[in-house]
């Protein structure tokens, strides 16, 4: 199973540090230089600010990713730990945006060689030593990586708790 980053809305303070860290982690220039050059700012994590909830949303790295299925160019692939966009193959058709149930996919211009809007989304900062930049930067501890082991451990530990409760009343 692919790991993914999930937010805890009860902790999120809506500071947008995650968005900034995300953009920073996905370009060669530092933020000041990028600002001077007026490079595009397109984070792969989106803070939702609504009356009911404040929380960042990003890709869940679906096992049966609709974006992979929708892409006519074979530019979105399920590989290793993530669902990955091969931007060189993306033609900007936006089918992935239409397909993604959480709105995690963005089609926009990003810093780099390609000057037309291309699909991009959370890649778990693959290759980044300290893991996802958003998780590292969040001052409220509202973001967490759910890894393969977590996904195996969590239901098991909940079942152990449920089992103990069951034993308690019958």
Contacts to other proteins by CB under 8 A: 1-2, 4, 6, 60, 62-66, 68, 77-79, 84, 101-102, 146, 150-164, 166-167, 170
**Measured between alpha carbons, how far is 113 from 116 in angstroms, rounded to an integer?**
9
Q: What's the closest the beta carbon of residue 3 comes to other proteins, in angstroms?
A: 9
On whether the CB atoms of residues 63 and 3 are closer than 8 A, the answer is no
Closest to other proteins by CB, 23 vs 75, is 75
Cα dihedral across residues 141, 145, 151, 152: positive or negative: negative
DSSP letter for each residue of 56-88: EE-----TT-HHHHH-TTS-EEEETTEEEE-GG
On whether the CB atoms of residues 104 and 57 are closer than 8 A, the answer is yes
Closest to other proteins by CB, 38 vs 52, is 52
Closest to other proteins by CB, 2 vs 26, is 2
Q: What's the closest the beta carbon of residue 29 comes to other proteins, in angstroms?
A: 29
Other beta carbons within 10 angstroms of residue 54's beta carbon come to 18
Q: What's the closest the beta carbon of residue 98 comes to other proteins, in angstroms?
A: 13
Residue 134: both structure tokens together: 């958003």
How big is the CA angle at 45 (ends 39 and 49), to the nearest 5 degrees?
A: 105
Q: What's the closest the beta carbon of residue 117 comes to other proteins, in angstroms?
A: 23
**Measured between alpha carbons, how far is 22 from 120 in angstroms, rounded to an integer?**
12
Q: What's the closest the beta carbon of residue 66 comes to other proteins, in angstroms?
A: 5
Closest to other proteins by CB, 37 vs 160, is 160
Closest to other proteins by CB, 49 vs 160, is 160
């Amino acid at each position: 199973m692919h790991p993914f980053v999930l937010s805890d809305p009860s902790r999120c303070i809506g500071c947008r540090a995650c968005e900034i860290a995300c953009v920073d982690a996905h370009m060669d220039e530092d933020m000041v230089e990028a600002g001077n050059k007026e490079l595009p700012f397109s984070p792969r994590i989106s803070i939702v600010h609504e009356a009911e909830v404040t929380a960042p949303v990003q890709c869940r790295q679906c096992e049966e990713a609709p974006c992979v299925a929708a892409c006519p160019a074979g530019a979105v692939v399920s590989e290793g730990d993530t669902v990955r966009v091969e931007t060189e193959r993306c033609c900007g058709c936006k089918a992935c945006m239409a397909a993604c149930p959480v709105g995690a996919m963005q089609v926009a211009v990003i810093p780099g060689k390609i000057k037309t809007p291309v699909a991009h989304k959370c890649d778990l900062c693959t290759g980044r030593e300290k893991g996802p930049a958003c998780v590292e930067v969040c001052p409220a501890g509202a973001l967490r990586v759910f890894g393969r082991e977590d996904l195996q451990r969590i239901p098991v530990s909940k079942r152990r708790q449920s089992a103990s409760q069951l034993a308690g009343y019958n």
